[in-house]
Structure 1
Amino acid sequence: MTSVFTKIINGELPGRFVYRDDKVAAFLTIEPVAYGHTLVVPIQEVDKWTDLDAETWAHCNSVAQKVGAAVIDVFGSERAGYLIAGFDVPHTHIHIFPANDMSGYSLANAMKPDETDDAAMDEAAEKLRAALS
């Protein structure tokens, strides 16, 4: 069955994309721990990151590093958090988010979609796109 991330990547569901190439897409999560919380997702639908081929995994991490640098720059955070969880959607993804403490590493602290401000989400995506271009 097609994952929700594949549906976003294919344009079947809306997504706030900040980066995309032929192997990887990066878009804001609908349940952020902070505005700017981005998912780096391989285009290829593979459930576990340990099952990705080494080249694709390396490229995901290269993109994640660029997104992380943009997150620090755009949001003025002390660090960019990096987290692999993967139990919620069976499609490899890396969480990158502004981090000033350890609270973002618990996805239980994430905002629900009805708790986020659409204008703030759009602004976060626009700023990250600009920083990554």
Structure 2
Amino acid sequence: MASIFSKIVNGEIPCHKIAENDEFLAFLDVFPIAKGHTLVIPKKEIDYIFDLDDALYTRLFLFAKSIVPGLQKTVPCLRIGISVIGLEVPHAHIHLIPLNSMADADFSKKIKQSSEELALLALDIRENLI
């Protein structure tokens, strides 16, 4: 059974896309813990990030790194944190989280953003990637 992320990759479920290439997709988390919380995934469905072959693993992290400048320009913060937990969805993914304090990395606290707010934020981040 395809993961929710594979359904997003296949266009079966919409997302607030930040960036995409042949191998990877970055999009806003619809249950963010901070404004700008972005998910970065390989398009190939592999459950556990450490099961990615070395080359794909490296390219995934380089793709994630390419998102950071646009995210930092759009969402004022001290740093962009990175987290890989891997329990929520059986599809390897990286969380990019704008942080101003350690409390901003608390996955038990979600913030509310409407679909319209997420769409505008994704547009702003995309424009700042250029």
Measured against the shorter chain, the TM-score band is over 0.9
How far does residue 117 in structure 1 lie from its aligned partner after superposition?
A: 2.3
Q: What one-letter code is carried by the residue in structure 2 that aligns with 1:132?
A: L
Q: What does residue 67 of structure 2 align with?
A: 67
Confirm or deny that 1:118 pairs with 2:112. Answer: no
Shift, 1:98, TM fit: 1.0
* Counterpart in the other structure of 1:53: 53
5 Å matches for 1:29-40? 29-40=29-40
What is the one-letter code of the residue matched to 1:130? E
How many residues are paired up? 130
Distance 1:69 1:99 in 2: 14
- Identical-residue share of aligned pairs (%): 32
Q: What's 2:84 paired with? A: 84
Q: Which amino acid aligns with 2:63?
A: V
Output aligned runs, 1:7-46, within 5 Å.
7-46=7-46
- How far 1:58 sits from its partner (Å)? 0.8
CA distance in 2: counterparts of 1:71 and 1:102, whole angstroms:
18
- Which deviates more from structure 2 when the two are superposed, residues 6-15 or residues 120-129? 120-129
TM-score, normalising length: structure 1: 0.92
CA RMSD of the aligned region, Å? 1.2
| 1:76 Cα deviation after fit | 1.6
Equivalent-residue separation in structure 2 for 1:17 and 1:126 (angstroms): 8
